[in-house]
Structure 1
Amino acid sequence: MALFSKKNCDVCGGKIGMLGNRKLEDGNLCKDCAKQLSPYFSDRKRSTVADIKEQLAYREANKADVAAFNVTRTLGTGTKVLLDEDAEKFIVSSAKRWQDGNPDVLNFSQVTGCLVDIDETRNEIMQTDSEGKEKSYTPPRYEHDYDFYITIHVNHPYFDQIRYRLNSSSITVEAPTGRMMIQGGADVGRRSVAYREHENLAQEIKDVLTQVRQTVRDNVAAANAPKQAVTCPFCGATTTPDAQGRCEFCQSAINS
């Protein structure tokens, strides 16, 4: 008798190889099906087979949205936020050929917030004495590593946030000697051009996503606002303009 019995994927029906099983709440998932899930999805173990099939159907439909996506603005250099401002949609991708990765296409209106976090680590810089032993400088010297993270909170059926590192590698800055009261933070980081550039870029991404979300919501609110009756300057009738701003009686453009 085999020690481990082979299982079938409850989603696609294929055989699951050694170490290839991804457990679901009520079944098994092969690694090939798992690769097709959204990269921002993190609730697999508590998902049912039906949940996964539903998400894979969404991911398949997402391919059409990717094909129709027209980049009008790019924010970032490594991992990028790509905007289709005409369609009011965006994606986040680190791939050079982002179309091949089937990135999730989201509407501007799905953004619920955007946060910027800066992770900092401090390491002492050591020197080597004549005997080859490491020892501290007097006064001690430190270098600080900074990483910028963007968290985009979204209203989406399969994930609630997109978090990624803005800088491709840590930004290292040496603290100024003789000013050891400065323990780190932005006072040290801003000594670096790279730190300032990423700080400005992070703020730009936050501002843009916040603004486009608000613009969409303002437009929806305006469209749903009660229409007011006006007097048509062309036919003199009291009318409520239609969606194109035309008089309902003579069809003249009142709001042109």
Structure 2
Amino acid sequence: MSTLELKNITTVVNHGTREEKTILNDLSLKIEDGDFITLLGTNGAGKSTLLNVINGSLRPTSGQILLDQKDLTPLSEVKRATYISQVFQDPKLGTAPRMTVAENLLLADKRGQKRGLRPRHLKEQLPRFEKLTAMLPNSLSQRLNTFTGDLSGGQRQTLSFLMATLAQPEILLLDEHTAALDPNTSAQLLELTDKVVTENKLTCLMITHRLADALRYGNRVVILKDGQVVLDTRDKTNLSEEKILTYFAD
């Protein structure tokens, strides 16, 4: 696992126009090996922008992104995918709808590997995939040969999470990955998230809009406001929902 460091990250959108806006403002953050951070902030605070800067889908206007002192800043989103996995809020993202559950898992299993024209050996992997999915909610172990596009939103998001963590990425990004699910499925996936991240000691940054979840999960809480870190703590002893809300006030 790895340490991710963001140094003086500034992100300006619509540069040079009347709509110019600074989303991240000279933000610095060090994510230590094995940290499970819950990231909070109001709409527009810069949470998703921060994840997009880390995964490479958005280049910062200035600053550096370092992974174990390796400069990721100039690398494309595709090249960063070797180190970074992400689960998005929309269950339709992160999986291939016209491929089966097993085929999606096979793709995820080969993340970061060189690919060529060779047999995929899918049948040989089915017993392993069945065992992996048996621990998951939503009966995915019985849907290995089902096209992903035919799954429910909860099943598809659970599959996305399994795919993102299958190869144990160096950095795992979760962008409100349970927000679009019903309360029961959301709770199940959060419990699974906590189990997988904790047991595998993954380095994880999870955006959540639920204050209770931020207090319950992870070892560290970070709050963004106006593109800057206004709270970064590992001590949740005296941290309550009421105290968190004070950081959101104007």
Q: Give me the TM-score of the superposition, normalised by structure 1.
A: 0.25
Higher Rg of the two aligned structures: 1
Q: Which has the larger share of helix?
A: 2
Q: Which has the larger share of strand?
A: 1
Identify the structure with bigger relative contact order (alpha carbons < 8 Å, sequence gap 6+).
2
